[in-house]
């Protein structure tokens, strides 16, 4: 007696078990390494005196000072001036608006403006970075940081 065999169709389903295993391994690796990424590295920066940058006579210099109480003062002139203050702003948006006006005015006069930031040593890093972000919004593409000799 001959048996009649049924032909089986090929199964068109994807076997996802190996992919699930790989995903679980990657998940474990990322869970283990994620806490290590948040830790910082202690760096002792060298204390050196820096030389003054050469000045171009055709450019204006905008010196922005950040005081310990996170208020902003600035002076616009032909050289870096840390003693005088022309104007002040109590908040970052006020400073950004004022710098935008200064940059637009200097562009309309055909002058280039160099911008330098001078931060008080008790101001945190975030305040200086926020000021740099505000300057970027104001259209400043290049910012210098002013240091004082030890």
Instruction: Write the pLDDT tens digit of every residue in 35-88.
Output: 776 554 454 444 556 666 555 566 778 888 888 788 888 887 766 655 566 677
pLDDT at 24 (0 to 100) = 94
pLDDT at 27 (0 to 100) = 95
pLDDT at 144 (0 to 100) = 79
Instruction: Write the pLDDT tens digit of every residue in 2-30.
Output: 677 777 777 778 787 888 999 999 999 98
Q: Which domains does the chain have, with CATH numbers?
A: 59-146 (3.30.420.270)
pLDDT at 112 over 60: yes
Q: How many CA atoms lie within 13 A of 127 on its CB side?
A: 20
CB 59 within 8 A of CB 112: yes
pLDDT band at 115 (very low <50, low <70, confident <90, very high): confident
pLDDT at 145 over 80: no
pLDDT at 101 (0 to 100) = 86
Q: Report the alpha-carbon distance of residue 123 to residue 70 in Å, rounded.
A: 7
Q: Which residues contact 87 (CB under 8 A, 6 or more apart)?
A: 73, 74, 98
> pTM of the predicted model, to two decimals?
0.57
Averaged pLDDT for residues 118-132? 82
pLDDT at 107 over 70: yes
């Amino acid at each position: 007696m001959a048996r009649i065999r049924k032909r089986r169709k090929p199964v068109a389903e994807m076997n996802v078990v190996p992919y699930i295993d790989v995903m679980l391994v990657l998940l474990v690796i990322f869970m283990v390494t994620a806490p290590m990424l948040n830790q910082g590295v202690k760096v002792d920066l060298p204390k050196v005196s820096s030389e003054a940058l050469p000045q171009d006579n055709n450019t204006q210099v905008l010196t922005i000072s950040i005081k310990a109480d996170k208020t902003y003062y600035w002076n616009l002139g032909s050289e870096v001036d840390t003693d005088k203050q022309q104007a002040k702003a109590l908040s970052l948006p006020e400073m950004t608006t004022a710098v935008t006006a200064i940059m637009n005015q200097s562009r309309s006069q055909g002058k280039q403006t160099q911008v330098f930031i001078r931060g008080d040593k008790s101001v945190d890093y975030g305040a200086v970075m926020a000021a740099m972000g505000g300057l970027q919004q104001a259209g400043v593409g290049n910012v210098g940081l002013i240091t004082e000799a030890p």
